[in-house]
């Protein structure tokens, strides 16, 4: 089932790029990011209340709070830089560089999370890296 969710994530990420490129024309990229963030905020909290999980907030430990806040800060910075790059660059070049985060995430997963390094992941990372450079050159 996780594969279905991952594919849906990829589909909506692709739509995000195209819709954002059209939407940011003629407006400040930071303002565009703020508008997008409000929409995501309302949608996410709407799902929390629809699923009835808002009462679980008190069960969240300090470690989870710290890392979720740090993740939120990283997301915010990523979105701000992404929208600025998308505003001034071509989507067909910005998006592959942004998706290079896959390789960076793999390296961080090996180093920080101590995930197993396999030949398959190394080869895949190399191909993604080559593909990124082919797309932007």
Measured CA to CA, the distance from residue 129 to residue 119 in angstroms comes to 15
| 82 and 22 in a common domain | yes
Q: Please check the confidence at residue 103 and state whether its pLDDT lies above 90.
A: yes
| 71 and 19 in a common domain | yes
Question: Looking at residue 69, what is its pLDDT?
Answer: 96
Q: Please check the confidence at residue 43 and state whether its pLDDT lies above 90.
A: yes
Structural domain total, the chain: 2
| 96 and 76 in a common domain | no
Instruction: Check if the beta carbon of residue 76 is closer than 8 Å to that of residue 102.
Output: no
Mean pLDDT of the chain: 94
* Mean pLDDT value of segment 32-39: 95
| 36 and 19 in a common domain | yes
Residue 105: which domain range?
Answer: 90-136
Domain final residue, candidates 89, 106, 122 = 89
| 100 and 83 in a common domain | no
| 73 and 21 in a common domain | yes
Note the helical H segments in the chain. 2-23, 29-51, 62-88, 91-99, 101-111, 119-136
| 95 and 85 in a common domain | no
Q: Please check the confidence at residue 125 and state whether its pLDDT lies above 90.
A: yes
């Amino acid at each position: 089932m996780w594969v279905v969710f991952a594919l849906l994530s990829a589909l909506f990420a692709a739509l995000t790029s195209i819709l954002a490129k059209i939407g940011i024309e003629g407006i400040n990229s930071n303002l565009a990011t703020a508008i997008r963030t409000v929409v995501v905020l309302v949608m996410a909290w709407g799902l929390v209340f629809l699923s009835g999980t808002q009462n679980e907030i008190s069960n969240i430990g300090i470690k989870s709070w710290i890392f979720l806040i740090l993740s939120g800060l990283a997301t915010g910075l990523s979105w701000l830089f992404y929208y600025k790059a998308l505003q001034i660059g071509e989507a067909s070049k910005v998006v592959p560089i942004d998706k290079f985060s896959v390789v960076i995430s793999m390296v961080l997963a090996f180093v920080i999370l101590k995930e197993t390094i396999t030949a398959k992941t190394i080869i895949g990372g190399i191909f993604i890296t080559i593909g990124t450079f082919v797309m932007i050159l």
